[in-house]
Amino acid sequence: MSTMATQFAHLLLFVCPNCNFPIAVSCVSGERSLENIDGEHFAASCASCRYSFNIPGAAAKKHYVEDWPHQE
């Protein structure tokens, strides 16, 4: 028997430090809290200038969260 557990899809919007193009990064977490994601670092790559870098979640210009049902 499987149960549904709620996870949370986080979408963070960053700005490329090289060309100012917007970069979206997503992740899934068991917590809705922004603070936990803000403390993480994310690998990002700009689709415009191809610059790759690591950036802390706290540097996101916007942070969106959606409930994401997960089958266990």
Closest CA to 21 of 41, 40, 56, 45: 45
Give the Cα separation of 54 and 44 in Å (integer).
Answer: 6
What does the H/E/C string look like for 18-63? Answer: CCCCEEEEEEEECCCCHHHHHCCEEEEECCCCCCEEEEEHHHCCEE
pLDDT-based confidence at residue 70 (cuts at 50, 70, 90):
confident
pLDDT digits 0-9 by tens, 31-61: 999 888 999 999 999 999 999 999 999 999 9
Q: Write down the pTM of the prediction.
A: 0.84
Give the Cα separation of 18 and 4 in Å (integer).
Answer: 42
- The pLDDT of residue 3: 57
